[in-house]
Chain A
């Protein structure tokens, strides 16, 4: 049996976070903490199943914790499963706070947040001379694809070791195409945001949540599309918003599969089934072509700026 003192920190209470929390709670982890700085929106409800319509506007972490706690589940050593919520930015956690956890599981949507927590956990291990070592299981979901990385600070590859393998976060187009030969509605929007707005309003940043800014973008997009004979039927408000917010469709089944993989790794770690020397620490999932999963060993980078030991 796993140690009843086991405590797990979950980063993110969104699509992946809901799945991870559900899995960990059902596995009987007695102490779970969850952090998320977002509030619930209508568009989350199709996949973030811990939330309901009346929760819109509430902090995700708080509502997720309440829902799980209301189930009154029993964990290891007959201890009740309890989830504690943190409605805040994960980069503001102190080392002492993080050191109370056995391991950390993340279901985040930003590279910056992952880099921050990775750097902090690795630093804790290296500075303590391996007295402390908190593994990070990182899940990622993007459309029909996903990954799960097991990061054991100072022992296996850290998040930063594999940074060069990541694709760019936002799709971008050649500036010359965007400026002189736009062919797609996306080119039109890109030009307006990266060139035109700054010319017309050099003193204020574009803010899509402000109605007059968004109306400006819609109006100018249609004008520019017409000028370059681009089919403007795609240029609806929801399409334009999708382009500027760089929205990727979130697929509930991908989240479920990736979260299951992460929690599977958590179980292996907790029950001493994980082989730190030979286990495949990186796993990729591809649901695009059939249902494909592949695991491999990603080595530590000797050049890594975060986990390289200065000895």
Chain B
């Protein structure tokens, strides 16, 4: 290991010669690699005004709350609280994202399961929290009736967008559609 030791010597000399002595600014924090990545994700977020995040439970429970208030589209004026649960394997594995309220939506079922390609089969470690938020926002702005999770909502959206809009509004008011009671999400 002689070669390595020589290389270490060189590095040590470089460090000593560099004008800035090794700054002890950042206290040695021991964090897992996934936590480091998450912190970095949050630090580089550039959120549109209709999205707020709450990272209070991130360090303790690896839980991130994402509040989306669409300012246009079918879901305008509603407040939608998504919960993203991260694992130690992030960003190899995506977080599990659920909607905490019931919604009338072709790609989100009434249990809050979200069908978004980048959260499952198209996930890649180069994606981050920002991509997830943009994906969720897109889902609310442009519900997609092809390959749906909630088939009833998809059928209505496909056959009559006007009726779909009325049903979405009544669901957001907390009314029932076809015997399913929805949560009130309008202020």
Contact = CB atoms under 8 A, between A and B. Distances in A.
Contacts of A172: 120-121, 123
B1 A129 contact: no
B83 to A, nearest CB: 14
Interface string A127-153: 101110101000000000000000010
A195 interface: yes
A175 B122 CA distance: 12
Contacts of B137: none
Contacts of A166: 92, 125
Contacts of B109: 179, 195
A199 B93 CA distance: 23
A175 B114 contact: yes
Interface of A: 3, 102-103, 111-112, 115-116, 118-119, 123, 127, 129-131, 133, 135, 152, 154-155, 160, 163-164, 166, 168-170, 172-177, 179-181, 194-195, 198-199, 269-270, 272, 274-276, 305-306, 310-311
A103 B5 CA distance: 13
Nearest to B125: A164
24 contacts: A111-B92, A112-B88, A112-B89, A115-B33, A119-B32, A123-B30, A131-B8, A163-B33, A163-B125, A164-B125, A164-B126, A169-B93, A174-B115, A174-B120, A174-B147, A175-B115, A176-B149, A177-B147, A179-B113, A180-B147, A180-B149, A181-B147, A195-B111, A272-B3
B124 interface: yes
Contacts of B107: 176
A169 B121 CA distance: 11
Given A3-B1, A168-B123, A174-B117, A115 B34 contact: yes
Nearest to A132: B8
Given A176-B147, A272-B2, A274-B4, 10 more contacts: A112-B88, A163-B33, A163-B91, A163-B92, A175-B120, A179-B109, A181-B147, A270-B1, A306-B36, A310-B25
Given A119-B33, A164-B124, A135 B4 contact: yes
B11 A130 contact: yes
Contacts, number: 115
Interface stretch (B15-23, B162-170, B173-181): B15-23
Interface residues of B, number: 45
B184 interface: no
B16 to A, nearest CB: 8
B131 interface: no
Contact of B4 (A111, A127, A152): A152
B76 interface: no
B148 interface: yes
B23 A173 contact: no
Interface in B86-124: 88-89, 91-93, 107, 109, 111, 113-115, 117, 120-121, 123-124
A310 B23 contact: yes
The 6 closest A-B pairs by CB, nearest first: A130-B11, A175-B115, A115-B33, A305-B36, A172-B120, A176-B115
Contacts of B11: 130, 154-155
